[in-house]
Chains A and B, each alone.
Chain A
């Protein structure tokens, strides 16, 4: 039994440790089942604390505002899904790598989007076909897919290569957006899955950072995120990704793993 770490356990259950202390405790708990049992006991006391506060009935406009925000987001998701091909052309091969399907779908959305805006139908369809062949026939990794995302030339669509920071040099990504629109697609790879209690959070940065959503990567460190913003994407100067506590933060507080100018 490590008496120093044991002293931290009550504060671990109260979620009042520094990041370093929390990592220390979690490493200890992973190796000491008897300590996990003690934490569980303390946790049953700590988990009662939120209930000590009297409930306060919120005004109706808070729920109304939330529902408006959620409805707009749900509609944006539906529009996105409607653009993604639903019937795979090569059956079983697609099921073998779900992420590859998402990546291809996302790339297709980006291309269809550009198609609707600038009429470059033929050229973009060639790019779709090219990506399709690359993904399905060659089983390439997402890194490869990102490197082959369409470059949109003279169209209004921008495709920004995301730059990793020194803390995660393997991170590689692309942000595809119409600067005048309020949504964008972010494709990322090379980010390691995080410990429980942590999440990646995407930020659009103008005068101040604005949360653009939480990012969960798969076991290969890959993810696709459709970003919706209250402001046009072009009104922001930069995009970044940081590591935050579970549920995200109101502003970046943790390690910055990706930061690029738009």
Chain B
């Protein structure tokens, strides 16, 4: 997708078939996906917001409205964001995290990184619970906003760090006591099925086709037919 030029809109459009199909096939709630996507939207907004001001050469004519190059590249950035974010959200929504980790390992990501990711995902929930307990303990003893100032926040953060370090030590003890010598052996991940190969091959073929620009050329033709 990054290989398309900065003003590409039409040639990016065919790619939207991927998230839409996946969304339908996996029977995911559209609302949830869109909500999560909004989280990423502000970042793109800041990246692209200045483009219309800097790049004012007219690029596109729709009826009697002229769009400047800045606007076109802004829309292009937004489309790219939409495609990237939905693709990653769909991956997370359809695949358990530890299977993603196993697959990353198979794709050749170094083991230490994979294990970091696994442990991060395992303990991030506990960390959040721990933090929530600290905040609850504070709010139960603070009145009229007193005790909620920043200077109390810092020792709390320190407390959280200390607790996590203690836990890390206990986890390490538990690992050692089960024969850990610095190497984590992973159980064989799930095997690849014929349908998986077809899935990957079909989508790769489709993306290749989109990249050649033939589908966007057809869209352009149809668009031109209706506009004139």
A binds B: no
